[in-house]
Structure formats: C-alpha cells, structure tokens
Amino acid sequence: MTLYLDGAHTEESVHYCVRWWREAAASEQRALGPSVQVHRVLLFNCMGDRRPEVLLSYLAEEPFHVALFTPNRLTVSKSPYSDQSDFTVEKCTEMARCKSNMRIWCHLLSSLQEEEMLGVGSPTSPPSLKGNPEDSCIVFPCVSDVMAWLQEQQMAAQQMTPPCHIQSKVWDLGKSMIL
C-alpha cells in the first residue's frame, strides 16, 4: 500500500496537490508495470470554514476508485491527554460535515456523468464515474477505521489530501501498524 499524504487545504494547494499526485502515481504505475492494477483511494477531510465544494472540484476528474470521508479523529473516542483532541466540536457535527462532503462529491461525480452522456465530458472517465457515485463513497467515524479498511482491501495505491493534523494521526497510527 502506498500512501500519498498531502495537507492541501486551499484552492491553490489542492491544485498543486493534484499535479504532484498525478506525477507520483504515474511514476509508480510505470514502476509496477501494466499488469498491476492500482486502486486509487481519496481520503478527504474538510472542517471549519473551508469550502469543500471548491476543494473537491479539483479532485473529481481524477481516477479514484473510491472516496473516503472522516473527521479529525484518530480513534472514535477523543483522548483527554492528546494535544490534537478538539473538544469544541461534537461527534455528530463532525460526522454531519463528513456526510455533507460525501454528498458534494457525489453531486460533482453525477454532474461529470451527465456531461459525459451529453458528449461534453472528458473522453477518459475516472473509475468513480461508472455507476452510482454513492456506491464508491464511505464515511468513517475515525482515521484508524479508515486505515483498517484500507488494509482489509489491500489497496495498491492511494492519495490522501487531509489537513496536516490528519497526516500526523495517520503517521502516529502507522507507527503501530505494518503497512
């Protein structure tokens, strides 16, 4: 499993993230060879006053097989001893935001599907445009559940564009897991 971690959180940084990821993923695919099917997974987190529809619009045409959404939680319960635990936001609020982000993603994919059917879309559709967009989306309650799911799926490659604090949670979790 290859993790591409990027803390893009502005329109400009997502633009650069996409460009960087395309190059890195293409390079890895060449190294693996054409016989290896790479599954690309987007892990998205956007909290606070950021506009997820703008950030996700840069990612919608990329060849992701599945999109995962999670709040800024390493585990389901927040530790009072962690400097990264945010007790100002309720769990239900975090999950509602993740579900909203997923709906935005699905709407973007549906719009791309419509464009493709009208013949105005990209000639090479991302895998996520095949079928119902909701079938390729999952909301998780925490980062450790995402990592467990990814290990179960034995994905070959993925991109993650969470904020830096999610990256540190993945890093901390990775220390205790063999990827």
Task: Say how many C-beta atoms besides its own lie within 10 A of residue 87's C-beta.
Answer: 7
Residue 99's Cα: distance from chain center in Å?
13
β-bridge pairing 66-69 and 157-160: unpaired
Share of the chain above pLDDT 70, in %: 73
How do residues 70-124 score in pLDDT, each as one tens digit?
Answer: 998 888 876 666 555 565 678 889 999 999 999 999 999 998 888 877 777 665 5
pTM of the model: 0.78
Whose structure tokens read 């990264």?
84
Tell me if 160 is assigned to some domain: yes
How do residues 25-34 score in pLDDT, each as one tens digit?
Answer: 999 999 999 8
Instruction: Please give the C-alpha separations between residue 85 and each of 71, 81, 99, 169, in angstroms, as whole numbers.
Output: 11, 8, 21, 11
Tell me if 70 is assigned to some domain: yes
SS3 160: strand
Tell me if 134 is assigned to some domain: yes
Strand order in the sheet with 41-44: 2-5, 157-160, 41-44, 66-69, 137-139
Q: Which residue has the higher pLDDT, 153 or 159?
A: 153
Q: Which residue has the higher pLDDT, 71 or 165?
A: 71
Banded pLDDT at 174 (limits 50, 70, 90):
low
Q: What is the CATH number of the domain that holds 110?
A: 3.90.190.20
Tell me if 54 is assigned to some domain: yes
Tell me if 164 is assigned to some domain: yes
- pLDDT reading at 61 higher than 60: yes
Task: Say how many C-beta atoms besides its own lie within 10 A of residue 108's C-beta.
Answer: 19
- pLDDT reading at 55 higher than 90: yes
Tell me if 126 is assigned to some domain: yes
Which pLDDT value is given to residue 133?
Answer: 84
Residue range of the domain that includes 16: 2-28+39-175
Tell me if 34 is assigned to some domain: no
Tell me if 170 is assigned to some domain: yes
- pLDDT reading at 135 higher than 90: no
- pLDDT reading at 8 higher than 70: yes
Banded pLDDT at 36 (limits 50, 70, 90):
confident
Number of domains into which the chain is organized: 1
The torsion of the CA quartet 145, 110, 116, 150, rounded to 10 degrees, works out to 0
